[in-house]
Amino acid sequence: MADLPHFDRKMSDAEGLMWRLEKDPHLSSTFATVTILDRAPDFDQLLRRMERATYAVPRLRQRVQPAPVNLTAPMWVDDANFDLRYHVRHLALPKPGTMRQLLDLASLIACDAYDRTRPLWQFVVVDGLRGGKSALVEKLHHTIVDGEGGVQLSLQFLDFERDAPEPPPLDPDLIAAAAAAQPEGSSPDLLRDLFTGSLRMPIGLLKQIKELLQDPTGIPEAGSAAADTVRGVMQQLGDVESARSPLWTSRSLQRQMEVLRAPFGPTRAAAKRLGGTLNTAFLAAAAEAAGRYHREKGSPVDELRSSMAISTRTETSGANAFSLARMLVPTGDMPIGDRFAAIQAAASAAKAASATASLETLAAVAATLPTSLITRLARQQAQTVDFATSNVRGASVPLFLSGAQLLENYPVGPLAGVAFNLTLLSYNHSLDMGVNIDSVAVDDPALLRRCLERAFKDLLAA
């Protein structure tokens, strides 16, 4: 079983940035997973497993304690009013229990704002899916964990066999010790931690960075660390080139969720034949589908701007470990081999460019800025991207949830101001994909799903 991410009591600068950005609902960082089960799980058993998980992973019992006047990133403190049944719910679809009904419900669940006085997660078991199936809609805020960390966290309540014995109860002494280590509210220890551990960069370096941002002409004479940081930040924030789509020009809070699947082994083999990786094949299919959508709508476009989440996880990583890269991808009508090669080159260049200004570095600088300013900058940056992608590695074997087998496992990534987000999660020899769509920007979500399905079929036939 994979090790859990390291959970700090204090948010990282990047997590603090995601928390502050949600002052603008367009920039929500909530993500979800829609899991199809072959039958209804044992709900009482699931409650017992989740109760245990909340002690094994204290983050699940913690709420956010904002820092005074945003002097630093918020802290995580125990929720003295924690109620497991508020976070784990059980309901049923009305007949006929179609996939469309489930996805529409899941979209509503994912879009509902969190109660910020409680822990930032929710699981909803949904019975009544056609064919005697059920589903689990898992919703987590990105400040709790990223997609890859979420896969590791899920192993606290998933099993490798249907009738697996329940794990033994946690030692009460360990539970008491964990509670004692997480003070509630604004205790003296909490306030001391806020002020003494507030800056993740040396004060002198932050001072140089602030001065250089005020007067960039001083970069040539600045110290190398400060100059490199500012160059990276300016490269990221200085990208004001607009998104390229002639169709996806509006943004809204209206959402539609679509899902699709592709076989893992054959898709990876096709990528190898084309001279690259599965991730390049995924991006190539996304670009082909986006271009096909525009051609079907009578508005062909040669290039679109895409963002890609890049995992930076190591053995010592915290709850979130990723960076974002932006790139131009070819979307015109062309041979798959040409598109694949162009995207592989673009992705390599984007990864190299993003290394000079990691999300954590940008967030450390943003921490010195007013929330109103950083939300405006984030919206401005979102307007430079047409669609987002993310690829998360999951389990390669069947998994079970309280006696029910996971049949399909669709991730739903945050939109954060783009037209759609295509997220892939590998599971049991399949590539399960969720498409989170701004249905005002993309006015025919079903067509986009069909274009994606056709793109992966064409990739397999390459």
Q: Which two tokens stand for residue 150?
A: 């979420």
Residue 169, classed as helix, strand or coil, is: coil
Contact between 438 and 456 (Cβ < 8 Å): no
pLDDT in tens, 233-249: 445 555 567 889 999 99
- Alpha helices by DSSP H, 256-404: 264-273, 278-296, 336-354, 359-366, 371-382
pLDDT at 405 over 90: yes
Quote the CA–CA distance of 329 and 331 in Å, as a whole number. 6
Quote the CA–CA distance of 145 and 394 in Å, as a whole number. 15
Place of tokens 């959970």: 7
pLDDT in tens, 15-33: 887 888 788 888 888 889 9
Quote the CA–CA distance of 402 and 46 in Å, as a whole number. 6
Supply the pLDDT for residue 308: 86
pLDDT grade for 188, boundaries at 50, 70 and 90 = very low
pLDDT at 338 over 80: yes
Query: Is the pTM higher than 0.95?
Result: no
Widest Cα–Cα separation across the chain:
70
Place of tokens 């059980």: 90
Which among 30, 48, 6, 309 is positioned nearest to 152, based on CA atoms? 6
End-to-end Cα distance, the chain: 36
Residue 459, classed as helix, strand or coil, is: helix
- Percent of the chain surpassing pLDDT 70: 74
Supply the pLDDT for residue 192: 43
pLDDT in tens, 102-151: 999 999 999 998 999 999 999 999 999 999 999 999 999 888 876 566 77
Mean pLDDT to the nearest integer, 385-405: 93
- 444, HSE (Cβ side, Cα atoms, 13 Å): 12
pLDDT grade for 215, boundaries at 50, 70 and 90 = low
Contact between 54 and 60 (Cβ < 8 Å): yes
On average, the pLDDT of the chain sits at 82
Contact between 305 and 244 (Cβ < 8 Å): yes
Contact between 254 and 439 (Cβ < 8 Å): yes
Supply the pLDDT for residue 143: 83
Quote the CA–CA distance of 18 and 28 in Å, as a whole number. 8
- Percent of the chain surpassing pLDDT 90: 54
Quote the CA–CA distance of 346 and 355 in Å, as a whole number. 14
pLDDT in tens, 255-302: 999 999 999 999 999 999 999 999 999 999 999 999 999 999 999 999
